[in-house]
């Protein structure tokens, strides 16, 4: 089982990437949600400058945020800067679109985008929005074509998994591992417990508060009142729905993948800790073994809370021993 890590892009991106490299993480992934975080490509470029060999990745790009030629040029730029270190994950857009008040993209849109992107990276002409496009950069501006950057499809269900089989080099998932996948990338939120800690310990609640928030956010976006079935979910939803509908999506996703926001904290229930990737080192190794049996080849650990360096060190010690 490979162990990687994922972060929201921030000014500290080079520092976290360098620490992850020293700790032996396989890859450092950065999220793509411009309304919440810094720019994913700037973070990747700065992380590449701060490291020597650790892998780099996007987790995950949202196609509607950039023209496909812009994405191809960004990939070519990183491949020239850090050859062979980049993996690109692409999906329909969760927070990256929902925080803009938009629904996820259709899988047909994502599949067409990936096919266009692959053609551009091969150096081919491709029709985009009715016009012929191609990467025509002078030599030395981006990597030489063809560019063979792996493209992974972020998918939890059968439709996305089918797109991944047709157009991708693998699957990235969270929460649910699609049936039949091999060597999948699994996004995991949680913390490694110190001796004597429990899910209700103050440090643990601070570390996993953002992870519990993600469960509320995702369930509400997918199932609305279905979030009521979660501990604390009904009260959380009722407070959210007292906010103006036109801007409610901004409050739902505030703090996403960083820390619990004020509304999340008022209703957060430690009973959801078991849904997160939280446990003693032995328990986490058992969870990792179970994921491996389902077809996961790489855990992408996403630290949250006030002390990301501590989380990185503790998770590396738990899973790499």
Residue 181 located in a structural domain: yes
How many Å apart are CA 233 and CA 272, to the nearest integer? 10
104 and 251 in a common domain: no
154 and 17 in a common domain: yes
Residue 39 located in a structural domain: yes
Q: Which of 40, 163, 76 is nearest to 113 (CA)?
A: 163
What single DSSP character describes residue 129?
Answer: T
91 and 212 in a common domain: no
Summarised one tens digit per residue, pLDDT across range 199-246 is 889 999 999 999 999 999 999 998 999 999 999 999 999 999 999 999
Residue 152 located in a structural domain: yes
Those residues whose C-beta lies under 8 Å from the C-beta of residue 308, and which sit 6 or more positions away, are 7, 16
Asked if the model's pLDDT at residue 321 lies above 70, the reply is no
3-state secondary structure of 170: coil
Task: Report the pLDDT value the prediction gives residue 271, as an integer from 0 to 100.
Answer: 86
Domains of the chain: total = 2
Asked if the model's pLDDT at residue 270 lies above 90, the reply is no
Report whether 105 contacts 69 (CB < 8 A).
no
Task: Report the pLDDT value the prediction gives residue 80, as an integer from 0 to 100.
Answer: 98
Residue 99 located in a structural domain: yes
- DSSP codes, 285-296: HHHHHHHHHTTE
113 and 9 in a common domain: yes
214 and 156 in a common domain: no
Domain coverage including residue 106? 2-189+299-306
Residue 83 located in a structural domain: yes
237 and 101 in a common domain: no
How many Å apart are CA 189 and CA 52, to the nearest integer? 26
The CATH number of the domain where 57 resides is what? 3.20.20.30
Tabulate helix, strand, coil % of the chain (nearest 5): 45, 15, 40
Task: Report the pLDDT value the prediction gives residue 199, as an integer from 0 to 100.
Answer: 87
50 and 15 in a common domain: yes
* Confidence label for 116 from pLDDT (cuts 50, 70 and 90): very high
Residue 197 located in a structural domain: no
Residue 195 located in a structural domain: no
Helix axes 308-320, 281-293, angle to 10 degrees: 70
Average pLDDT, the chain: 95
pTM: 0.95
99 and 70 in a common domain: yes
How many Å apart are CA 79 and CA 148, to the nearest integer? 9
Task: Report the pLDDT value the prediction gives residue 94, as an integer from 0 to 100.
Answer: 87
Q: How many residues belong to the chain? A: 321
3-state secondary structure of 21: helix
Task: Report the pLDDT value the prediction gives residue 284, as an integer from 0 to 100.
Answer: 97
253 and 171 in a common domain: no
Summarised one tens digit per residue, pLDDT across range 148-181 is 999 999 998 899 999 999 999 999 999 889 988 9
12 and 145 in a common domain: yes
234 and 180 in a common domain: no
148 and 94 in a common domain: yes
Asked if the model's pLDDT at residue 269 lies above 90, the reply is no
């Amino acid at each position: 089982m490979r162990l990687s890590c994922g972060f929201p892009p921030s000014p500290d991106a080079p520092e976290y990437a360098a620490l992850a490299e020293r700790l032996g993480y396989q890859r450092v992934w950065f999220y793509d949600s411009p309304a919440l975080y810094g720019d994913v490509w700037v973070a990747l470029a700065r992380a590449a400058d701060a490291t020597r060999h650790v892998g780099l990745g996007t987790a995950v790009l949202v196609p509607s945020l950039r023209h496909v030629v812009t994405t191809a040029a960004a990939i070519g730029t990183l491949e020239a800067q850090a050859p062979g270190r980049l993996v690109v994950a692409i999906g329909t857009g969760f927070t990256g679109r929902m925080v803009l008040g938009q629904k996820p993209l259709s899988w047909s849109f994502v599949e067409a985008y990936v096919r266009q992107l692959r053609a551009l990276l091969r150096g081919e002409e491709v029709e985009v929005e009715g016009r012929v496009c191609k990467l025509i950069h002078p030599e030395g501006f981006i990597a030489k074509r063809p560019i063979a950057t792996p493209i992974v499809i972020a998918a939890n269900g059968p439709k996305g998994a089918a797109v991944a089989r047709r157009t991708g080099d693998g699957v990235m998932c969270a929460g649910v591992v699609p049936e039949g996948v091999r060597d999948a990338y699994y996004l995991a939120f949680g913390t490694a417990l110190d001796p004597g800690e429990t899910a209700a310990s103050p440090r643990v609640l601070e570390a996993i508060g953002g992870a519990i928030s993600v469960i509320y956010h995702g369930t509400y976006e997918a199932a609305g009142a279905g979030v009521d079935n979660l501990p604390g979910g009904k009260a959380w939803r009722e407070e959210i729905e007292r906010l103006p509908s036109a801007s409610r999506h901004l409050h739902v996703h505030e703090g996403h993948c960083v820390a619990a926001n004020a509304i999340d904290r008022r209703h957060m229930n430690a009973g959801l800790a078991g849904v997160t990737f939280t446990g003693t080192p032995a328990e986490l190794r058992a969870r990792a073994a179970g994921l491996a049996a389902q077809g996961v080849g790489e855990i992408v650990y996403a630290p949250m809370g006030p002390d990301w360096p501590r989380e990185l060190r503790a998770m590396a010690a738990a899973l790499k021993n």
